[in-house]
Amino acid sequence: MELKSTRCAICNSFNNSHVLFPQRLPTQNLDASPYAPRRKRDFFHYRIVKCKTCGLLRSDPLVDQNDLKQLYFDSECTYTDENENIPLKKTYGSYFVNVLKKYNIEKTSFLDIGCSNGFILEKALEFGFKKIIGVEPSRDAIDQASSSIKPFIVNGMFDDKMFEKDSFDMITFFQTFDHIAEPNIFLQNCFNVLKEGGFILAINHNAKSFSAKIMGEKSPIIDIGHTYLYDLSTMKQIFKQNNFVVHNVFPIKNTVSIERLIQLLPIKSSTSEKIQQLARLLKINKCLLKLPLGNLGIIAQKLKTT
């Protein structure tokens, strides 16, 4: 696949950047396997550069948009076992319900972008939304959704043509935004389908977190799937430049199983497997911890035009 150079999504510049990490890609043809979320670590990534003006990190060069779409359509969902789903539901669910309460958000209609097997849609129903919709490119992830949720998932890459204007009271995207190749278009599309006064809650990686700093190139954020990597400041900036009012940008505490924590360590997979076996033997693999693992959250709103 051919690689193309990319622009800073905030400054729109091409060459105003310095290289943080040279590219590390599979030697054989690139296929969808490194695009599976939460797969075993392979340390593949494109060249990572940092914008000299705004500090936004990005993959440069990167595969073409259409190739990227296909890779996501073909990618497999590898995290359906309980150990993964319960902590994810807990982390995202607790922020989700707090935002609903704090901003007294209407619960008529809800959209989750990059919804995977739909676990957040289940939460949205539980929290009282009347109408729920998810969008997910991976067919394999949708196949793994529960039968009650599956009918509400659209297979595809999110686009505002999928929905009427002013459709949703709330949109969420969890671990999705840093995979988006054209984040400004993506946010404009979100803006269009949100109702006036509607909210966005997004959670993704924080490029300036402690773990990202100490792990460097071995950090799980330096990953082939990440087109852009944001910190608190660049995340706020890109939402503001797309007409959102930003209420809060904040570091996230993740609920994570010990097993998952071991998988995230920057070590060889054979060593990781041995430590995981030990954790299973000690029956601590499913224990949950609450740690600031290096994610950030943002709460933004499309203001009413009065």
Chain contacts with Zn ion (rule: CB under 5 A): 8, 10-11, 51, 53-54, 56
Q: 72 with 137: CB under 8 angstroms?
A: yes
| Nearest-approach distance from CB 58 to Zn ion, in angstroms | 9
Which residue number, 8 or 145, has a Cβ lying nearer to Zn ion?
A: 8
Find the shortest distance in angstroms from Cβ 187 to Zn ion. Answer: 16
Question: In angstroms, what is the minimal distance from the CB of 11 to Zn ion?
Answer: 3
The sign one gets for the Cα dihedral 138, 143, 144, 145 is: positive
- 107 and 129 in contact (C-beta within 8 Å)? yes
- Could you tell me if 54 and 11 are in contact, meaning their C-beta atoms sit under 8 angstroms apart? yes
Closest approach of Cβ 226 to Zn ion, in Å? 16
Between 9 and 258, whose beta carbon lies closer to Zn ion?
9
User: What kind and span of H or E run contains 58?
Assistant: strand 57-59
Instruction: Pick between residue 3 and residue 11 the one whose CB is nearest to Zn ion.
Output: 11
* Virtual torsion, Cα 270, 274, 277, 282, nearest 10 deg: -160
Of the pair 11, 246, the CB lying nearest Zn ion is at: 11
H or E element at residue 125: helix 119-126
Complex with Zn ion: residue 158 or 228, whichever CB lies closer: 228
- DSSP alpha helix (H) spans, 252-302: 258-264, 269-281
Alpha helix locations (H) across 146-209? 183-193
Query: What is the H or E stretch that residue 298 is in?
Result: strand 288-301
Cβ at position 8, least distance to Zn ion in Å: 3
Angle, alpha carbons 104-298-61 (nearest 5°): 150
CA distances from 181 to 35, 185, 218, 260 (A): 14, 9, 22, 27
* Closer by beta carbon to Zn ion, 8 or else 111: 8
Q: Minimum Å distance from CB 195 to Zn ion?
A: 31
